[in-house]
Amino acid sequence: MKTVVVTRTVIVRGHKTRLSLEHPFWRGLKEVAAWRDMTLTDLLDSIDSERQCEDLSSAIRLVVLNFYRHQLFAADHLLRSVAPLPNLEA
């Protein structure tokens, strides 16, 4: 399966920037912004100012990945607190 890379022009820290990301990462980036009640531009500014790697696209992918990992961890934690797994060692 071939991944479709989408290139968009966005504003990052007041400058037009072209970003190339796979479609699922664009969608994830918008979901992160909505979850944090931020505009996409504000989120991109935040990612750009805090990134540890040189490539902005890579930093965005890591933010999206960590967002969903956190969501999965939180859902798992909630599920286990409501319906703990049975002890199978008995």
Widest distance between CA atoms in the chain: 62
| Residue range 21-56, pLDDT digits in tens | 999 999 999 999 999 999 999 999 999 999 988 899
| Residue range 5-22, pLDDT digits in tens | 999 999 999 999 999 999
CATH topology of domain 5-82: Ribbon-helix-helix fold (1.10.3990)
Domain boundaries, the chain: 5-82
Nearest one of 44, 83, 41 to 63, comparing CA atoms = 44
| Residue range 72-88, pLDDT digits in tens | 887 776 666 666 666 76
**Token representation of residue 27:** 């969608």
- Strand runs (DSSP E) across the chain, as ranges? 5-12, 15-22
**Token representation of residue 36:** 């944090």
